[in-house]
Amino acid sequence: MTRPTPVPTELSQPFWEGTRRGELLIPRCADCGTRFFVPEPVCPNCMSATWSYEPSSGRGVVYAVTVVHRAPGPGFDVPFALAVIDLDDGGALLSHVVDVEPDEVATGLPVQVSFRPLDESITLPYFVPADARAADD
C-alpha cells in the first residue's frame, strides 16, 4: 500500500503540472490580489471567479508544526514533521519539512520548497530549512 495519491481536478491540474516542472503555483485573485490555497472556484476574499496561478518564490516560514509519530496509514515513514507553511509572497499550505530532524522543526523556521516525485505523475512540494537549501545550491 502507498500513501493516498492526489487525483488532480480541473482546478488543480495546473498546480500539479507546475510541481512536475519545479514551479510552485499559487492562485492569485485578479480582482483583489489575494493569494490563496487550496485552489477553489472563487476567491475566498472577494468571491471573484477570475483568478489565475502565479509562481511563488517557494520561500516561507513554519506557521505550525506537529511531529507525527503514529503512522496515519500505509506508506508513511514516522516520525515526520507535518507543517503549515506561510509563503512569503502569500498563501499557506500543508507540507512536510524534511532534511532536518522532525523535532528540530520549530514555529518560525525559514523554509524553502523542495520538489520530490511521489510517483510518475505526481511531484510533491516538500519544504527544507532555508539555510540547508542554500548550502545545497
Partner 1 sequence: MTPRRAVIVGVHATEQALSLPNRTAMDLAMEAVKGALADAGLTAADVDGAQLDWPGPGGVEGEGSSWARAFGRDLRWTSDSMLDNSGARGLLKAAAAVTAGYADTVVVGGCRLVSRGPANAPVGAGVPLEFTDVWGSYVVAQFALVAARHMHEYGTTSRQLAEVAATIRNNGSSNPEAMMYGRGPYTAEDVLASRMVATPFHLLDCCIVGEGGAAFVVTTAERARDLPAAPIAVLGGGMEYHQAAYANPALYREVGRIGRDASARAYASAGITAHDIDVFSLYDPNSFEIIRQMEALGVCGEGEGGPLVESGAIGLDGKHPVNPDGGCLSYAWNGTQQMTLKVVEAVRQLRGTAVHQIDGASLALVGNAGSGAQHYEMAILGEDR
Binding site for partner 1 (CB under 8 A): 1, 3-9, 12, 37-38, 63-73, 76, 80, 82-84, 92-96, 107, 118, 122, 124
- Residues 102, 71: Cα–Cα separation, whole Å: 14
**Closer residue to partner 1 in complex, CB, 45/134:** 45
User: CB 47 → partner 1: shortest distance, Å?
Assistant: 14
Instruction: State in angstroms the smallest separation of the CB of 73 from partner 1.
Output: 4
* 103 vs 136 by CB, closer to partner 1: 103
CA atoms of 133 and 12, how far apart (whole Å): 27
The residue (of 6 and 33) whose beta carbon lies closer to partner 1 is 6
Structure-block grid coordinates of residue 32 = 483583489
Q: Counting every residue, how long is the chain?
A: 137
Q: How far is the C-alpha of 56 from the C-alpha of 91, rounded, in Å?
A: 9
Q: Which is nearer to partner 1, 35 or 96 (CB)?
A: 96
Residues 61, 65: Cα–Cα separation, whole Å: 11
We find the least distance from the C-beta atom of residue 131 to partner 1, in angstroms, to be 21
Minimum gap (Å) between residue 31 Cβ and partner 1: 20
**Site of grid cell 499559487:** 26
49: left (phi over 0), alpha (psi -120 to 50) or beta: alpha
Q: Which CB atom, from 48 or from 107, has the smaller least distance to partner 1?
A: 107
Longest dimension (CA), the chain: 43
Please report how close the Cβ of residue 107 comes to partner 1 at its closest, in angstroms.
4
